[in-house]
Amino acid sequence: MAKTDLFESPDYYLLDELLTEEHKLIRNSVREYVKKEVTPIIEDYAQRAEFPKHLIKGLGEIGAFGPTIPTEYGGGGLDYISYGLIMQEVERGDSGIRSTASVQGSLVMYPIYAYGSEEQRRKYLPKLATGEYMGCFGLTEPNHGSNPGGMLTNYKDAGDHVILNGAKMWISNAPFADIAVVWAKGEDGKIRGLIVERGMEGFSTPETHNKWSLRASATGELVFDNVKVPKENILPNVEGLKGPLGCLNQARYGIAWGALGAAMDCYDTALRYSKERVQFDRPIGGFQLQQKKLAEMITDITKAQLLVWRLGVLKSENRATAAQISMAKRNSVEIALNISREARQMLGGMGITGEYPIMRHMMNLESVVTYEGTHDIHLLITGMDVTGLNAFK
C-alpha cells in the first residue's frame, strides 16, 4: 500500500539562513520528488530486494546525476552545498537510491570528467547525466577491500587494445550498468582507469543476493575474462591509487550529507510517534527517557549539519582536504546509525515493521558505514592526519 510521507525537516539552529535561495529551491524540489516518487514505493522494493529501475529517468531530471559536472557536459554546474542537499534528500528516501546517484555522479561521471579525454567526456557524460547510460565503479576485489592498492585485476598491451583480467566484488549498480569504470594494474604495476562497456566479450556482472542491507540497490560482481578493451577507453589523465581515491573524496562528501538525511527521517518519525503513542495514559514523548533520546538525536543532527555545511563551503572553494571529508563521512554515518537504533526502540514493536522507515534506514546504514572506506579506516585517516604517523600498515 502506498504510504503518506509526513516528513518535516529538522532545522534547530535555523541553518536554512546559511543557504541561498537557489540552494533552498533545489533542496525543496528534490524533497518533493522523493515524497512523491520514492517514499510511496521504496518499502515494497526493499522488501522484494529489487532496485526500482523506473526511478532512473526522474533522478536524471532532478539533477541527481553529476550535479557539480559543468553544464556543457550535461551536468548541473552546481556548487557543493547544492550537491550535498540533493544527496541528503535522496538518502532521506533511501540509502540505496542515494547509492545509485552517488556512483553515477561521483564515481563514474567524475572520473570521466576529471581524468578522461575530451572525446570520452563528450561520448559518455551527457548520456550518464540523463540516466540513458548507467555506470558502476569497480575498485574493491574479493581479497582487496580496505587495501585497494594490492589489487590483482590487470591489463596487458595487445596493440590497439588491452586484455583485461580479474574480478571486482560488491559493486553497486553492476547488474544493470551499461559501463563500468574499472581500476586495474598495467604491466608497469601502475593503476589506471578503464571504461568497460556491457557487451564486451568476456565481461559479466553476476548479481549479489541475500543482502540484509541496501535491498533496494542492485549489487554485483564484475568479472573480466580476457576482455578486449580499446586503448581509447583508458582514462589518460591519471595513474596510481590517487585516481580512484580522488573519486572517493567526491562520493564520501555526498555520503556525509546523505546519511544525515536518513538520520533526519528516523528522528522525525520517532518525534511524531512519541507525541501520538500513549502508554500509561500519557504520550510516550512526555517520559524523560524518551525525551533524552530525542534531545540527543537533535543535538547530534544539528552538530553534523553544521559540519557538512562548513565542509561544503570549503569544498566549493576547493579547500576541503581528504581527511576533512573522512571525518564528516564517519561522523554522519555514526550519528545516523545511533539515531536509527534509538528511534527504532522508541517505536517499540512497530519499529521493526515496514510501516515505518526506521529499520530499513538502520539496515541500509550498515552498508554505508562499511563502503567508501570503513568506519575504522576513516578513523585511521584522521589519526594519521593529526599525528603524521601511519597506523594502516
Catalytic residues: 372
Q: Which is nearer to ligand FAD, 97 or 171 (CB)?
A: 171
Q: Where are the beta strands (DSSP E) in the chain?
A: 135-138, 154-157, 161-172, 179-185, 191-197, 203-204, 219-230, 278-279, 282-283
Select the residue interacting with ligand FAD from 377, 382, 383, 385 (CB under 6 A).
377
Q: Which is nearer to ligand TGC, 163 or 223 (CB)?
A: 223
Q: Is 213 in the site for ligand TGC (CB under 6 A)?
A: no
Q: Which is nearer to ligand TGC, 9 or 250 (CB)?
A: 250
Distances from the Cα of 50 to the Cαs of 32, 97, 270, in angstroms?
23, 11, 27
**Residue range at the interface with ligand FAD (CB under 6 A); choices 73-81, 257-265, 305-313, 364-372:** 364-372
Q: Is 367 in the site for ligand FAD (CB under 6 A)?
A: yes
Report yes or no: 195 and 124 within 8 Å, Cβ to Cβ: yes
Select the residue interacting with ligand TGC from 29, 130, 146, 204 (CB under 6 A).
146
Select the residue interacting with ligand FAD from 65, 137, 253, 267 (CB under 6 A).
137
Beta bridge partner(s), residue 197: 179
Q: Which is nearer to ligand FAD, 81 or 255 (CB)?
A: 255
Rounded distance between C-alpha atoms, residue 261 and residue 86, angstroms: 10
Q: How many CB atoms lie within 10 A of CB 292?
A: 11
Select the residue interacting with ligand TGC from 222, 248, 259, 346 (CB under 6 A).
248
Q: Is 139 in the site for ligand TGC (CB under 6 A)?
A: yes
Question: Binding pattern to ligand FAD, positions 85-114, x when CB under 6 A?
Answer: ------------------x-----------
Min dist CB 134 to ligand FAD, Å, is: 12
Rounded distance between C-alpha atoms, residue 113 and residue 151, angstroms: 24
- CA angle, 99 as apex, 239 and 354 as ends, to 5°? 160
| The three three-digit cell numbers of residue 252, written as one number | 564520501
Q: Which is nearer to ligand TGC, 129 or 248 (CB)?
A: 248
Min dist CB 241 to ligand FAD, Å, is: 13
Quote the crossing angle between the two packed helices 322-346 and 288-316, to the nearest 10°: 160
